[in-house]
Amino acid sequence: MTPDDKDMIAGCSPSASYAPPGSARATVAAGLALGLADYATGRGADRPALLAAAGLTEAELVDLDGRVPFVRYMALMRAAKIACDDPALSLHFAEALDLSELSVVGLVSHAAETMYDAFQQLNRYGRLVMEVEGVAEGERFTVVMRGEEVWLVDQRAGANDFPELTESTFTRFVVGPRHILPRQIVTAVEVTHERPAHADEYERVWGVPVTFGAAWNGMRMDMSLADHPVALLPRYAFGVLTDRADALLASLRQTSTLRGRVEGLLLPVLHTGKASVDYAAGQLGVSRQTLFRRLKAEGATFEAVLDGLRHRLAVDYLSARKVSVNETAYLVGFSEPAAFSRAFKRWTGRSPREVRYGQPA
């Protein structure tokens, strides 16, 4: 990678990127961001530069079910396209990695009985992969009849502001079922954005006619395949996976609260020492007093939110046994390991080493 490339990647940082209207609160599964970072790194991208351009850290990607801001995923995608010198990277990323490798949602669809059921589950749990603006939960995709044709239409708002998302999402719908179906279930695609320079790659990857500058983002479906069996995983797995997905969905709904928003703001800067009430209030555009008052209305305090976030992350890091006790202390914002140990003992009644190394209490 040349110095000029690194300068271009730096220009993709969240502050420099254009964010779709209303996307400031939207989030993406950390597993999706990790998959993209791994894919781009495997194709020669400078990983530290890539993550820096997106304002992301490795620590934020440890928990695949964690969340990262949508705008940072946008920045990561655009930085990756530059770093890999591949304008069609979003197509290639989705073509190369099945959703089951990145999210529980992909596993749920693999455990569904039929193709129709699989699409229903993808719609039901789609927010776990990526939140989008302009649609209610479970209603991002809707079936629309055009004459005798059946179209699956993406209803997200501001689609043309980030066409890379249309590229990757549609690729997973088109390419994913190929290994289990006798023929392609998507027979044509229409997208609202204009024809890009890499348009030929659309038809290579999708293998169907593509119309650009259309009235909607939709896929024409071969409904004769709707009842084709899937069941790539045992039926028992479907119940286990949907229970997990339901729990994650319930947790995600909680982020609509101010407490959840504050946690989302503090998480990326926890290790920097910037996780303060002044920082959170500034990011939210309110005064300290207003932030205190609104948190109190939710039965919370800023100190409790910060303490709870540190507690949860510390337990996750140590239980996963991927980082040391001292590294965990740093990641959750403690400058002194001794102070972290005292806090961890208060949270759990156990020492960090007992949890990290599985020692008895």
pLDDT digits (tens, 9 = 90+) for 113-163: 999 999 999 988 998 999 887 666 667 899 999 999 999 999 998 999 999
Question: Who's near 326: CB < 8 A, 6+ residues apart?
Answer: 337
Model-wide pTM > 0.85: no
Q: Count how many domains the chain has.
A: 3
Residue 101 and residue 79 in contact, taking contact as beta carbons nearer than 8 Å? no
Separation CA 305–CA 333 (nearest Å): 14
pLDDT at 13 over 60: no
Nearest of 313, 340, 319, 338 to residue 329 by alpha carbon:
340
Q: With left for phi above 0 and alpha for psi between -120 and 50, is residue 296 left, alpha or beta?
A: alpha
One domain for residues 152 and 284:
no
If asked whether residues 116 and 190 sit together in one domain, one would say yes
pLDDT per position as a tens digit, 158-215: 999 999 999 999 999 999 999 999 999 999 999 999 999 999 999 999 999 999 999 9
Residues 6+ apart with CB under 8 A from 217: 153, 154, 156, 159, 166, 170, 190, 191, 192
Are residues 103 and 76 both part of a single domain?
no
What percent of the chain stands above pLDDT 90? 63
CB 165 within 8 A of CB 159: yes
Question: What are the φ/ψ torsions at residue 28 (nearest 5 degrees)?
Answer: -130, 145
Residue 361 forms part of a structural domain? no
d(CA 62, CA 154): 30
Whether the per-residue pLDDT at 97 is higher than 60: the answer is yes
- Categorize the per-residue pLDDT at 254 as very low, low, confident or very high, splitting at 50, 70 and 90: low
Residue 184: the pLDDT is 95
The answer as to whether 162 is a domain residue is: yes
pLDDT for the residue 358: 62
Task: Identify the domain containing residue 321 by its residue range.
Answer: 257-356
Q: Which amino acid is it at 100?
A: S
pLDDT at 15: 39
Q: Which of 248, 277, 306 is a domain's end point?
A: 248
Verify that 238 and 323 share a domain, yes or no. Answer: no
Q: Same structural domain for residues 100 and 7? A: no
Task: Measure the CA–CA gap between 208 and 188, rounded to whole angstroms.
Answer: 5
User: In this structure, are 264 and 208 located in the same domain?
Assistant: no
